[in-house]
Structure 1
């Protein structure tokens, strides 16, 4: 089974509808409600609006504010999905893995609604459904650790050692390690690759093309080109 993170390995979600702008607008919305100081330190300028949601979730856990902020972020992710940029070779790799009988899932802290909107626009829905495990709705949208990976493995009866996580963040790496699943890092450049390597990632790919080439050549094992 192949467990894909969404934003990065499958597409650049905020390629045009920029993450920095969304993060800034979420902070501005909070402040317009008189909620100054809920997001502090480096968080307001974060290029990832999920950082803003995590910050508010830490300070107001279980609140209606978190649920409302999550819905606002979901709407922004749905807008971003329309102009998201596909990751090179991701579409053919997904289709090829499906064609050879692999089960695929998306495990992400993005909204599952945005994931499904993007997959539908690329004709990839059938490669994943119903195995999309994304951010929850309601007052506690952000789970921690490997719970999404474990849900995907449990729902399909897959053994962790026989699966593969393709992820682009240190949190993806940590979740894979906690779940006992091999990890393949994806990074578009050295700036993105360095944190993964520093955190202990053994395999970090700058392109999915070698994985696709090996899969099409019929060599065994999804991690063969990076062993």
Structure 2
């Protein structure tokens, strides 16, 4: 019997083992037995809990913010309900007597009647330190202070006042302007300013503020040869 010349004797080694199979999830087996992760970054520091002082400041800031919001809401509701309004002022009459202008000297007595009205239906008013100033071409001629008074809700009152000038020196341009008005139109236009310290009152609520009104270009009939005259036209409402 002949042997196959291409045959090789057995080496005596077993068939190599099959390669290890990877699990379906892609992770090696016994992953739980691996060494835990260690952070070797020397600059890493675990987060620290906030300090009690920071917590207290944060709580105080939150409480203060809530307080401001509540206070703003209360004031908003108050002004919606009460609706404070600025009082109205009317110049009912203005007359002048002993009015003379000569040699840069001016003299005269101005008698006026002011009417104050309170348009508020829930707030009363107290007037203190009412100052009336008479001007001509932005030049102050005279001023006087009125007595304090009160105005109830929807109330009104009239106040009389007198302003006097006795031989006061005035600029030559002012004298010429007054002379031209008297000669051309027979009138002189004066300006009146009223500054008041008003207290708005509603229950225990009090608020003080200055209120300024202007009655400009008030025409008073004073002819060239006359030393007295009265306001031309009806009552005039002063503007804020």
Instruction: With the length of structure 1 as denominator, give the TM-score of the two structures.
Output: 0.22
Q: Which structure exhibits the higher relative contact order, with contacts defined as CA atoms closer than 8 Å and separated by 6 or more residues?
A: 1
> Which is strand-richer, 1 or 2?
2
Between Structure 1 and Structure 2, which shows a larger proportion of helix residues? 1
Highest Rg: 1 or 2?
2
Question: TM (normalized to structure 2)?
Answer: 0.21
